[in-house]
Structure 1
Amino acid sequence: MAKQFNRINEDHARFIAAQHIFFAGTAAAEGRVNISPKGMDSLRVMDPNRIVWRNLTGSGNETAGHLRQMNRMTLMWCSFATRPLILRAYGSARTLHPRDPEFADLNALFPANPGPRQIYDLSVEMIQTSCGYAVPFLDYAGERDTLDRVTEPLGRDGLHTFWAERNLTTIDGQPTNIFGDIDDAG
């Protein structure tokens, strides 16, 4: 039976911290709904109604484009270990880019990484838990190092070129604001 809460309690925070993967869901007013798996050490519960997570360089940039239009976001964790549980955090989020004043302080919460694109700051409005009885058991084998191996040699200029080629718009053609207003101009 699903249960709703108006905040992240200590048990929820411990559960979130123990998971190796989470999923981020966003959608614009029209177009495709995006659900992205996220891993690495990229998420922090800041307080009972706030979560920040760092978005690293990747092949798409749907979340940033969607949040420019509609600031709703859902994060989901599911246990693949002994405790069957699914936890969702619903709320509104804002996007912070490396050019934004708050970015550096929030980025410092995470291990060094060559390619952070954005930090998402989620104001949690509701937590929902459900059983997770149908989620399979899976063994955690460790983190992949592929993203670091690919992005590290690029350097800042190479990352900006990558972003310009792959991250300016969503798959529905909406701007992501990765470089500020210049990507709105085309």
Structure 2
Amino acid sequence: MGTVYSSILPQHEEFIKKQRIFFVGSAPLNEEGHVNISPKGYDVLRIFSPNEVAYLDLTGSGNETSAHLIDNGRVTFMFLAFEGPPMILRLYGRGKVILPESSEWDNMAKHFEILPGSRQIVHANIDTVKTSCGFSVPFYSYNGERDTLKQWAENKSEQDLENYWKKKNSISMDEIVTPIGKKFR
């Protein structure tokens, strides 16, 4: 079953900061909707307190997490030990999306290096932390970050990025309008 905590403990924070990748899970309330699991790389996650985290969300081919947060707010973060002792750590909570034009952006954005293609910040209040063994997670070696997304975004104008967001990031695959989509309506 694992061990359940009500907040991020110092040893959890230490573990999280060592990870080079994490996964974000979300789902719509509609039982016909799709569960989404999204991998996140780069140094984009910040821990603000034992019950508050946020990550800088970069442009992607979809925007499911954002849509699900509008739909119901539920979000799960998962971290895996690919090196050293085995462990899986999950953060469960409720999140929201902060867009660059929102009043909260400047206060949140100052905690991040704003990377090319940054589209929003996902902020979450964590109510449950769970650790489990991770005994079957294989070892993997970290060879570096891919620069493909950064290069792609650096070669786009602001208008090109907005057009892309309008086309690819405005509506989820379950037809939920995202916060980005609302600004184009």
Pair in the same fold by TM > 0.5: yes
Structure 1 outlier segments of 4+, above 2 Å: 179-183
Q: For 2:122, what is the secondary structure of its paired residue?
A: strand
Q: CA deviation at 1:181?
A: 4.8
Percent sequence identity is: 40
Q: Is the 8 A contact 1:114 1:155 kept in 2?
A: no
Partner of 2:27: 27
**Which amino acid in 1 is paired with 2:154?**
E
Evaluate the alpha carbon distance shift between residue 79 and residue 42 of structure 1 in structure 2; reply closer, same or farther with a 3 A threshold.
same
The structural deviation recorded for 1:58 is 0.6
Equivalent residue number for residue 6 of structure 1 = 6
Aligned 1:77-88 pairs, distance under 5 A: 77-88=79-90
Q: CA deviation at 1:179?
A: 4.7
**Cα-to-partner distance string for 1:77-113 (whole Å, 9 max, x where unaligned):** 0000012000000011111111111112322212231
Structure 1: unaligned runs, 5 residues or longer? none
Moved more, 111-120 or 54-63: 111-120
Amino acid at match of 2:78: M
How far residue 177 of structure 1 moved from its aligned partner, in angstroms, is 2.1
**Given residue 152 of structure 1, which amino acid in structure 2 is its aligned partner?**
E
Identify the residue that residue 170 of structure 1 maps to in structure 2: 172
Amino acid across the alignment from 2:21: I
1:131 aligns with 133
- The one-letter amino acid paired with 1:50 is E
Q: Matched residues in 2 for 1:59 and 1:66: separation?
A: 16
Q: Give me the TM-score of the superposition, normalised by structure 2.
A: 0.95
For this pair of structures, how many residues does the alignment match?
Answer: 183
**RMSD across aligned positions (CA):** 1.1
